[in-house]
C-alpha cells in the first residue's frame, strides 16, 4: 500500500544538526517524499544538504524588516528560491586561514551578543527584527501548493510570521512547541510589562488560529490544556532503533577508570548543573577515584572553560557528526544529563524534554540525571524508572549518586535495560513518524475542540 504524504511547508526552522528543533525536524521528516516537503527559513546557511529536501526559500530582504539604524548593522540576504549544495572539500581553507577566520568569528560573535544584549535591555529587540509575508513568498507558496504549514515558533517574530501566513493563505497550520518560549522570551528591559502582554497575546492568537497543535512533552500538553483550553499532541525527538542496535551497550562491567559522557550545549539550561558535576568529578578524583568526564559540544563557552581550567579529568571535545553519535555514546560507562536549578534554567526546561534524552536511553549507557524534581524530564524519568535521579542541587548528593552507580552493577544494568525498553516503546522513529504523518494528514479537515469542518486550502 502506497504511503500518503501531505505536502508540508516548514517555516522558520530548518533541517540542521546544531539545534534541538532542527534535529527533531530531521528525524520526524526522514524518508518523507521529497516532492512533499519544502522549507521557508532565514537559517539557510545552517541547513544540512543530507536531508533529502530539495525545495527551499530563503527569507531575505523582501521579508526581513529591520528599521533604521539597525538595518546598517544586520546584513540581509536576497529573498527567493535556494538550492542547498554539498560543501566542496577542495574549497576548505588552510589551517592558517582557519586560525584567522576563527579569530574574526569570535570577535563577530562577541559584538553580536553585545549588540543584542543592548537591544534587549532597551526593550527594542522584538521590534528591531520583523518577518513579513511578501508577494514573492506568496507566489512561491502558491506554486508549491502545500496541504499544511508546519512551524516551530520560538521567537516573537516567529509567532507573528506564522499567524500572518496562516491568515493570508488560509492553509491549515500546525505548530510544534519545543520550549515554553512565551514565558522565557521576555528578558528584563525598559518595557518589560508591555512586551510580556504583547508576547502573551500574540501566542494566544496563534494558538487560536492553528489547526494542529503539537508539543514536546506530555507535561507541556497538560499545562497548555489548562492554560489555553486547547489540546496539544506530544511529539519529541525519536531515534532510529536500527542505527543504534549494533552499538547498544550490553555489558555494564567497569574498568579501573570510569568514563562519563555529556553531549550538548554549554549554555542555559544545562551549564550550571554541568559545572557542578565537573566540580564533583574533580573532588572524587582527589579522594582516589579515577573518573573522566568527556564533554562534546558545538559551543565554546569562555566562562565555562575558565571555571573548569584547574579541575582534574574534565576533557572538552568538538561535537562529532550526528551519524557518529551511536558509536560515540555507547563506548562510555555513564551518560550525564543536567538541567539547571536556577530560576532561568527551571523556566526554560519546565515543560521540555531534551533532544538527547531518547539517544541516551537507547544507548544502553546508564544515565545520571541531575535536575529539578518538578520538570517534565524528571517526571518522565521517575515515571519510567529509567535513570538515576538527583533532584536536589546538592554536590554531596550528586557525589553519593556517582559512587553508588560505580559500586552497584545491578543498579547500572537495571537502569540501562529499562531505558532501552522505554526508548523502543515510545521513541522508535518508525512508529513516531507514522503517527506524525497521520496527524499532519488531518489537514484535510479543520480541527477544532469539539467539531470538525472542511478546510479551505486555497491561497487567498
CATH of the domain at 399: 3.40.50.2000
pTM for the model: 0.88
Q: Are residues 362 and 232 in the same domain?
A: no
How far apart CA 117 and CA 99 sit, in angstroms, is 27
pLDDT score for 88: 42
Nearest to 321 by CA among 14, 23, 13, 12: 23
Q: Are residues 134 and 257 in the same domain?
A: no
Give a yes or no: residue 106 inside a domain: no
Instruction: Classify 458 as helix, strand or coil.
Output: coil
- Domain extent, residue 65, equals 8-84+128-236+432-450
- Pull the grid cell for residue 17: 544538526
Give a yes or no: residue 336 inside a domain: yes
Give a yes or no: residue 96 inside a domain: no
Q: Are residues 156 and 214 in the same domain?
A: yes
Q: Are residues 272 and 347 in the same domain?
A: yes
pLDDT at 98 over 80: no
How far apart CA 366 and CA 363 sit, in angstroms, is 8
Nearest to 85 by CA among 60, 41, 48: 48
What percent of the chain stands above pLDDT 90? 75
Q: Are residues 439 and 296 in the same domain?
A: no
pLDDT at 456 over 80: no
Mean pLDDT score, 187-211: 92
What percent of the chain stands above pLDDT 70? 89
pLDDT score for 251: 97
pLDDT tens-place string over residues 323-359 = 999 999 999 999 999 999 999 999 999 999 999 999 9
pLDDT score for 252: 98
pLDDT tens-place string over residues 265-304 = 999 999 999 999 999 999 999 999 999 999 999 988 889 9
Domain count, the chain: 2
* CA distances, 283 to each of 227, 270, 273, 300, 312 (Å): 44, 20, 15, 24, 8
pLDDT score for 259: 98
Q: What are phi and psi of 443, to 5 degrees?
A: -65, -10
pLDDT tens-place string over residues 225-245 = 999 999 999 999 999 999 999
- Pull the grid cell for residue 71: 538595518
How far apart CA 354 and CA 223 sit, in angstroms, is 18
pLDDT tier for residue 127 given thresholds of 50, 70 and 90: confident
pLDDT tens-place string over residues 382-435 = 999 999 999 999 999 999 999 999 999 999 999 999 999 999 999 999 999 999
Amino acid at each position: 500500500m502506497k504511503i500518503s504524504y501531505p505536502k508540508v511547508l516548514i517555516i522558520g526552522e530548518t533541517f540542521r544538526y546544531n539545534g534541538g528543533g532542527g534535529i527533531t525536524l530531521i528525524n520526524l521528516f526522514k524518508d518523507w517524499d521529497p516532492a512533499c516537503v519544502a522549507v521557508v527559513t532565514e537559517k539557510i546557511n545552517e541547513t544540512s544538504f543530507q536531508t533529502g529536501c530539495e525545495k527551499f526559500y530563503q527569507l531575505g530582504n523582501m521579508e526581513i524588516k529591520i528599521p533604521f539604524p539597525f538595518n546598517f548593522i544586520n546584513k540581509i540576504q536576497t529573498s527567493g528560491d535556494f538550492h542547498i549544495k554539498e560543501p566542496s572539500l577542495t574549497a576548505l581553507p588552510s589551517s592558517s586561514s582557519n586560525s584567522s577566520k576563527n579569530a574574526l568569528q569570535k570577535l563577530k560573535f562577541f559584538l553580536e551578543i553585545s549588540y543584542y544584549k543592548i537591544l534587549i535591555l532597551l526593550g527594542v529587540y522584538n521590534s528591531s527584527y520583523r518577518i513579513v509575508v511578501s508577494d514573492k513568498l506568496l507566489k512561491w507558496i502558491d506554486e508549491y501548493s502545500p496541504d499544511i504549514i508546519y512551524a516551530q515558533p520560538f521567537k516573537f517574530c516567529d509567532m507573528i510570521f506564522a499567524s500572518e501566513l496562516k491568515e493570508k493563505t488560509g492553509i491549515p497550520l500546525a505548530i510544534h512547541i519545543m520550549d515554553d518560549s512565551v514565558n522565557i522570551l521576555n528578558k528584563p528591559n525598559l518595557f518589560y510589562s508591555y512586551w510580556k502582554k504583547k508576547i502573551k497575546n500574540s501566542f494566544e492568537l496563534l494558538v487560536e488560529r492553528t489547526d494542529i497543535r503539537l508539543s514536546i512533552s506530555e507535561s507541556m500538553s497538560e499545562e497548555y490544556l489548562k492554560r489555553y483550553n486547547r489540546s496539544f499532541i506530544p511529539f519529541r525527538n525519536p531515534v532510529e532503533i536500527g542505527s543504534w542496535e549494533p552499538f547498544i551497550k550490553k555489558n555494564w562491567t567497569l574498568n579501573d577508570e570510569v568514563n562519563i559522557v555529556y553531549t550538548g550545549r554549554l549554555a542555559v539550561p544545562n551549564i550550571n548543573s554541568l559545572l557542578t558535576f565537573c566540580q564533583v568529578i574533580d573532588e572524587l578524583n582527589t579522594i582516589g577515584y579515577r573518573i573522566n568526564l568527556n564533554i562534546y559540544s558545538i559551543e565554546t563557552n569562555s566562562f565555562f572553560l575558565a571555571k573548569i581550567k584547574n579541575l582534574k579529568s574534565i576533557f572538552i571535545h568538538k561535537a562529532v557528526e550526528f551519524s557518529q553519535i551511536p558509536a560515540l555514546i555507547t563506548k562510555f560507562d555513564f551518560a550525564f544529563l543536567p538541567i539547571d536549578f536556577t530560576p532561568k534554567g527551571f523556566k526554560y526546561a519546565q515543560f521540555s524534554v531534551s533532544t538527547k534524552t531518547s539517544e541516551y536511553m537507547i544507548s544502553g549507557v546508564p544515565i545520571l540525571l541531575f535536575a529539578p524534581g518538578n520538570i517534565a524530564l524528571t517526571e518522565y524519568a521517575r515515571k519510567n524508572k529509567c535513570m538515576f535521579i538527583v533532584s536536589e542541587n546538592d554536590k554531596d548528593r550528586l557525589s553519593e549518586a556517582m559512587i553508588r552507580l560505580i559500586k552497584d552493577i545491578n543498579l547500572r544494568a537495571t537502569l540501562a535495560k529499562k531505558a532501552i525498553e522505554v526508548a523502543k516503546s515510545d521513541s522508535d522513529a518508525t512508529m513516531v513518524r507514522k503517527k506524525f504523518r497521520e496527524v499532519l494528514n488531518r489537514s484535510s479537515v479543520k480541527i477544532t475542540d469539539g467539531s470538525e469542518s472542511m478546510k479551505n486550502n486555497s491561497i487567498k
